[in-house]
A and B are shown apart, each in its own frame.
Chain A
Amino acid sequence: MDVYLPIANLSVNGLFIVMLGFGTGILSGIFGVGGGFLTTPLLIFYGIPPTVAAASAATQVTGASVSGVFGHMRNKGVDFQIGAVMVGGGLCGALIGAGLFSLLQAIGQIDVVINLLYVLLLGTIGWLMMREALAELKPARFGSKKRAAKRRHHPMIAALPYRMRFYASGIYVSPLAPALLGLVVGILTMLMGVGGGFMMVPAMLYILGMSARVVVGTSLFNILFITMLVTMVHSFTTHAVDIVLAGLLLVGSVTGAQYGTRIAQVAKPEVLRLILASIVLAIALRMAYGLTIRPDEVYSVVPL
């Protein structure tokens, strides 16, 4: 099934793109991550121009997180208070990200920066998740619950001023903390075409110390708004959102997300986390390797 992409200016195998969306959809359903961290590199690898890949992947993540947000809202799994603060931070982040994007593009280092970011972020988070999951998989004793309770928020977070209570998350922190988190995620979403769920979830759990019950829902809520924003910023600045590409990805990912949710209900969470950690680590390692070997394309063309 050949499909012509009017913005990317090339023809692709539509079925392949749908399957790619399906795969990331399953991931997003299971783990509450958008799956953008998987889509963007694979699209680039497939030959889609990097900017188009990042912009369209952001659009796709919106769709992949919608039904998740609704689902978590029904179960009261979204902290709208923190969510709103994070979206506010994300708004600034997306704009800063847009500025960074054109700056890096002008000096020709956007690809390297994106790749390095992937390696650093995915590497760190993958490693942390892996350690966590392996520890949990060891003969489980009753202690695991207690340990989570011991971890209050990070001392640096507690030191921030204007602390307030976020009841749904059960924390008492300065709104600056979630706003900063939102800001960082906003920048990354703009640069990398990722929703940022893979780093938001651990950050909310271990840095902010939010209640696990609302973490995934609030993360999805944030992803939903940030990716909508990023789509908008991209359509204004880079004009790189390809709706045919995004549509194909969506067809796959919204279906995949539904299956993912079902898998998440029956599978063991620590096994799932181990799998996610392995995927994240594998991508990080592959990209790190890619940075050190001679690339296929030593030369690249930028229109003046």
Chain B
Amino acid sequence: MIWSSLPFPSPGLRSGCGAAASGRLALRPFGPLAWLALIVGLLLGLCGTAHAQGRDPILVVGASQTDIVLRQGFTGTELLLYGALLDPRGRRADEDYDIVVVLKGPTEPITLREKEQIAGIWVNAASTDYRSVPSFYAMASSSPVSEIVDPRTAAIYEFGLDYIQLSPTGTIDTEEQARFSAGLVDLRQRQGLYNQFDGAVDLDEGVLYSVRLPVPSNVRPGEYTAETFAVLRGRVIASNSRQLVVHKEGVELAIANRSQDNSFLYGLFAISMSLFMGWAAGRLFAIV
């Protein structure tokens, strides 16, 4: 666990407040642990110089991985997102704020089809188009979203499965649109691609937060964004984001690329592999 390995109380911190402590820590290589050490250093270090002006609180965020590699053995992973809220006055926040984390995958335009029973058989009937549907969405919060913000704010920041902005382009009425959108969210939820974890964010001492978000194996490659919001009295007071890249590597990347760019050779290769394995098995069993 990452918290247990934190370097405090470190000698640098114990030596008192001041720039020296934080400065020394800042010289370390900026891994996630160094970041956290820096945050804590700053928090404690600034306690002497409390006459800071009314700046906005700063949210420092980190992620356990900045790239997720899709390759053999990948069965999904757990992404640890962590960070801290830094009060401009240098103390831990007086009031209890809440943290909301949203991880979103690359968006894509899609057609959503709905099956209907016609003459006893279930066939695709109605359909509607969406301009930008996130291929992945996961939200976690330190308290249930409905208790943190009002629906308007939730809709602005896309807090929760009910508020994902899908940009429908169809001309069907609102009610039908809502049914389609609910169907899409439900489908993606069962595929493990859309998730909402109310109350899953751990908030330590009102300063450090952490959450683990499951990333399944069927995620699409692309740019992912992890956004963190600090919410106080129904208002978002600070936010910060981190980019993550989900990509294929090695053989998997080569296969995916070849199948797209070099269809002829790819097809030939598939056929040869098939022919060879069939032939080899025949020979092998003839010997045995």
Q: Which residues of chain A have a CB within 8 Å of any CB of chain B? A: 2-4, 6-7, 9-11, 59-60, 62-67, 70-71, 108-109, 111-112, 116, 228, 231-232, 234-236, 239, 241, 243-244, 246-247, 250-251, 254-255, 257-258, 291-295, 297-304
A294 vs B109: C-alpha distance when bound (angstroms):
27
The 7 closest A-B pairs by CB, nearest first: A66-B278, A67-B282, A235-B267, A254-B281, A11-B217, A63-B278, A63-B274
Question: Which residues of B lie under 8 Å from residue A257 when comparing CB positions?
Answer: 278, 281
The one of B184, B218, B267 that contacts A301, using a Cβ cutoff of 8 Å: B184
CB distance from B69 to the nearest CB of A (A): 10
B251 to A, closest residue via Cβ = A6
Question: Which residues of B lie under 8 Å from residue A10 when comparing CB positions?
Answer: 217-218
- Are A301 and B278 in contact, CB atoms less than 8 angstroms apart? no
The one of A108, A235, A303 that contacts B113, using a Cβ cutoff of 8 Å: A108
- Are B252 and A6 in contact, CB atoms less than 8 angstroms apart? yes
B117 to A, closest residue via Cβ = A294
A115 vs B112: C-alpha distance when bound (angstroms):
20
- Are B109 and A303 in contact, CB atoms less than 8 angstroms apart? yes
In the complex with contacts A231-B271, A236-B264, A11-B109 CB distance below 8 A: no
B118 to A, closest residue via Cβ = A112
- Are A231 and B270 in contact, CB atoms less than 8 angstroms apart? yes
Q: Is B183 an interface residue (CB 8 A)?
A: yes
The one of B133, B183, B270 that contacts A246, using a Cβ cutoff of 8 Å: B270
Question: Which residues of B lie under 8 Å from residue A297 when comparing CB positions?
Answer: 115, 187
The one of A66, A295, A303 that contacts B115, using a Cβ cutoff of 8 Å: A295
Given contacts A4-B252, A241-B270, 6 further A-B contacts (CB under 8 A): A59-B271, A63-B277, A228-B274, A231-B271, A250-B274, A258-B282
A59 vs B259: C-alpha distance when bound (angstroms):
14
CB distance from A123 to the nearest CB of B (A): 14
A2 vs B71: C-alpha distance when bound (angstroms):
11
Q: Is B170 an interface residue (CB 8 A)?
A: no
* Count of inter-chain pairs, beta carbons less than 8 A: 178
Q: Is B49 an interface residue (CB 8 A)?
A: no
Q: Is B76 an interface residue (CB 8 A)?
A: yes
B183 to A, closest residue via Cβ = A299
- Are B76 and A11 in contact, CB atoms less than 8 angstroms apart? yes
- Are B281 and A255 in contact, CB atoms less than 8 angstroms apart? yes
A249 vs B251: C-alpha distance when bound (angstroms):
19
- Are B123 and A112 in contact, CB atoms less than 8 angstroms apart? yes
In the complex with contacts A299-B113, A299-B180, A302-B110, A241-B124 CB distance below 8 A: no
In the complex with contacts A2-B73, A10-B217, A250-B277, A112-B121 CB distance below 8 A: yes
Most chain A CB inside 10 Å of its own CB: which residue of B72, B76, B113, B267: B267
In the complex with contacts A9-B218, A243-B273, A254-B281, A112-B124 CB distance below 8 A: yes
The one of B114, B121, B263, B282 that contacts A291, using a Cβ cutoff of 8 Å: B121
- Are A239 and B279 in contact, CB atoms less than 8 angstroms apart? no
- Are A300 and B124 in contact, CB atoms less than 8 angstroms apart? yes
CB distance from B174 to the nearest CB of A (A): 18
Question: Which residues of A lie under 8 Å from residue B111 when comparing CB positions?
Answer: 108, 301-304
A7 vs B75: C-alpha distance when bound (angstroms):
15
Question: Which residues of A lie under 8 Å from residue B264 when comparing CB positions?
Answer: 232, 235-236
- Are A254 and B113 in contact, CB atoms less than 8 angstroms apart? no
* Interchain Cβ contacts under 8 Å between A and B, 9 examples: A67-B279, A70-B282, A228-B275, A239-B263, A241-B266, A243-B255, A243-B273, A254-B278, A292-B122
CB distance from B222 to the nearest CB of A (A): 11
Q: Is B163 an interface residue (CB 8 A)?
A: no
- Are B187 and A299 in contact, CB atoms less than 8 angstroms apart? yes
Question: Which residues of B lie under 8 Å from residue A247 when comparing CB positions?
Answer: 273, 277
- Are A239 and B112 in contact, CB atoms less than 8 angstroms apart? no
The one of A116, A228, A299 that contacts B184, using a Cβ cutoff of 8 Å: A299
Question: Which residues of A lie under 8 Å from residue B242 when comparing CB positions?
Answer: none
- Are B123 and A236 in contact, CB atoms less than 8 angstroms apart? no
